[in-house]
Amino acid sequence: MTPIPPIRPIHSGDLDAVLRLNRAHEVELSSLTRDRLAALTGMAFAAWVVPPAEAFLIAFDQDTAYDSSNFRWFKERFERFVYVDRIVVAASARGRGLARALYARIFAEARACGHDAVVAEVNSDPPNPASDAFHAALGFAPIGSAALADRGKTVTYLVKRLA
């Protein structure tokens, strides 16, 4: 296996490359403008990139003033949590352990900050079986679902409890 490059915070110079990677995966995520991406990275609990934008992760904790309906779903149910809003690995970088490395780091950071859980959602319609299997292998369990009429999809909500 190829060594994993360093994971570092997303800087303003990374925004265009991260935005391109997000655009390549808008079906699984949602669209962003450059300004919105800059705002999200500025308020995030974690906003990390594997340079040169081979992968990225953006996550928020319960104290973030984030307007996502998925984030609000978790906020209504958990006292302390870290919500992985988006994690993407470029097609050319898959199979190198980048997503696992990003998740390992978010689990460690969340534990260090006293969070009880890491949460996320995965599309169930349209289905995303690769993401389902990946999250299950990391110990995530389904805890709910929602139809997002404004985005034309259904999501499954997942939790990984932190010991």
Whole-structure pTM value: 0.93
Phi first, then psi: give them for residue 147, nearest 5 degrees: -90, 125
Closest by Cα among 93, 91, 95 to 134:
95
Look up the CATH number of the domain holding residue 82.
3.40.630.30
Residues above pLDDT 70, as percent of the chain? 94
Range of the domain at 89: 8-161
Integer angstrom CA distances of residue 118 from 7, 37, 41, 60, 104: 19, 21, 18, 10, 11
Under the banding of pLDDT at 50, 70 and 90, the label for residue 127 is: confident
Instruction: Judge whether 149 lies within some domain.
Output: yes
Instruction: Judge whether 137 lies within some domain.
Output: yes
Q: Which one has a higher pLDDT value, 74 or 153?
A: 74
CA separation for the pair 60, 41 (Å, rounded): 9
CA separation for the pair 114, 42 (Å, rounded): 21
Instruction: Judge whether 1 lies within some domain.
Output: no
Closest by Cα among 91, 149, 148 to 122:
148
Q: What is the mean pLDDT of residues 84-103?
A: 93
Instruction: Judge whether 34 lies within some domain.
Output: yes
CA separation for the pair 154, 121 (Å, rounded): 10
* Average pLDDT score, the chain: 91
Quick one: how far is CA 102 from the chain centroid?
Answer: 9
Q: What is the mean pLDDT of residues 104-122?
A: 96
| Total count of domains within the chain | 1
Q: Which helix (H) or strand (E) holds 144?
A: strand 141-148
Residues above pLDDT 90, as percent of the chain? 73
CA separation for the pair 41, 47 (Å, rounded): 5
CB of 55 closer than 8 Å to CB of 91: no
